[in-house]
A and B are shown apart, each in its own frame.
Chain A
């Protein structure tokens, strides 16, 4: 059975954007810091709207922030 996995570059992008803190990013996209932490750790896959908001906060297209990988198990 194919298992879908969504990974992201948020941590890397935060540091590339003037060492933005999780709290600053959370405030920009309107969520709590715990949610950003969970997304970064791949423990939570955000909704499409939130994913777009995060990508917009970095000024990048969605595909450069989030990656979809299909993993066979």
Chain B
């Protein structure tokens, strides 16, 4: 795996972890109405920080060869396409969120303010996930990069 692929794999793992933590916190705080307890609940951010640092200095830093560049022209092309796909996904999510909320609460209804950070975080995490998945899909399939 080259650096771009590794970064994408790492990003997918981080986003899925973050989504899990957010879902857990949301259920704990707003549905169960209890502050999470236990070792993992107290120190999850420290554990995540250590995991990111360790991964950065091992998995992400290791090159296939000492002369390998961080990214080349094909990587840049793949990343450019992934950004485009991610950008489109953000718009789709924003519109979908607006329409769904309109259906749920009605035209004159209201939603609690605390939902907005969760919506924003959800959209951000999904966009990152789509970006990384688009990179991995393009490497996996090989694609017809640059042929057209």
Contacts and interface: CB of A to CB of B under 8 A. Distances in A.
Contacts of A47: 73, 146
Interface string A38-50: 1001011111001
B74 A38 contact: yes
Interface residues of B, number: 21
A45 B71 CA distance: 17
A32 B145 contact: no
Interface string B132-148: 00000001001111110
B34 interface: no
Nearest to A32: B2
Q: Binding site of B, secondary structure by majority: helix, strand, loop or mixed?
A: loop
A32 B64 contact: yes
Interface residues of A, number: 18
A30 interface: yes
B72 interface: yes
B73 A46 contact: yes
A32 B142 contact: no
Interface string B6-24: 0000000000000000000
Nearest to B3: A32
B5 interface: yes
Interface string A9-50: 000000000000001001100111111001001011111001
Given A33-B2, A34-B2, A34-B139, A44 B74 contact: yes
Interface of A: 6, 23, 26-27, 30-35, 38, 41, 43-47, 50
5 contacts: A27-B67, A35-B75, A43-B142, A45-B145, A47-B146
